[in-house]
């Protein structure tokens, strides 16, 4: 549990260092057995200590620590209960948030969309921290490992904190590429077809080193 908390805090600090969140916005969680470790609400990540660990069960009952968990706890727990996620990263990344205000789905600007299961959907807006937002996110995640939150930010999950974070940064990069390409007057970006994305997705499943 101590190692998982250390990794969670390190990941949360990366979101600030890499410019994916400002201040205490965004949140990170990781599942250890039936306990979900989460960042606490309103506490700057650079101040978090080993003794600040916060954990809840899958019903949201606090089982570890005295600090209050993130206000987005309903969203995190919904993802854990309904998917095979072991880690969740939520950010307010600027380019992704901008895209979430423009389209209902990120256009297929790059084949890395295949790494999160296909075209990235935008979850309709709902007030942060509410069951409504959690339900909207879950629908947007159907068959996907990441989504955008309208006028809000991003959410990505994975088998580990590293994978969830990598998916987050890839999503922000794709959003930035689409915004850049779309900003050229008189030109529209070339997009991939669903077939091209499917082919790339198949290749991505075998990408990297094998044990």
CB 69 within 8 A of CB 61: no
Q: Where are the alpha helices (DSSP H) in 183-210?
A: 194-205
| Euclidean distance between CA atoms 29 and 82, whole angstroms | 15
202 is catalytic: no
Active-site residue identified among 6, 7, 72, 105: 72
How many CB atoms neighbour CB 180 within 10 A? 12
Tokens found for residue 101: 């205000």
Positions marked active-site: 72
């Amino acid at each position: 549990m101590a190692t998982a908390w250390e990794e969670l805090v390190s990941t949360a600090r990366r979101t600030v260092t890499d410019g994916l969140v400002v201040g205490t916005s965004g949140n990170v969680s990781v599942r250890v057995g039936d306990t979900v470790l989460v960042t606490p609400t309103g506490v700057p990540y650079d101040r978090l200590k080993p003794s600040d660990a916060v954990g809840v069960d899958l019903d949201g009952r606090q089982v570890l620590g005295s600090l209050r968990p993130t206000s987005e706890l309903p969203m995190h727990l919904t993802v854990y209960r309904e998917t095979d996620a072991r880690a969740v990263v939520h950010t307010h990344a600027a380019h992704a948030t901008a895209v979430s205000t423009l389209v209902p789905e990120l256009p297929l600007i790059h084949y890395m969309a295949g790494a999160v299961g296909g075209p990235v959907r935008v979850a309709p807006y709902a007030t942060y921290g509410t069951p409504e937002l959690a339900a909207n996110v879950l629908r947007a995640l159907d068959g996907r490992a990441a989504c955008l939150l309208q006028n809000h930010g991003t959410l990505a999950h994975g088998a580990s904190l590293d994978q969830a974070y990598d998916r987050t940064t890839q999503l922000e990069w794709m959003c930035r590429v689409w915004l850049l390409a779309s900003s050229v007057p008189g030109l529209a970006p070339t997009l991939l077809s669903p077939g091209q994305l499917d082919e790339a997705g198949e290749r991505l499943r075998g990408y990297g080193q094998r044990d």
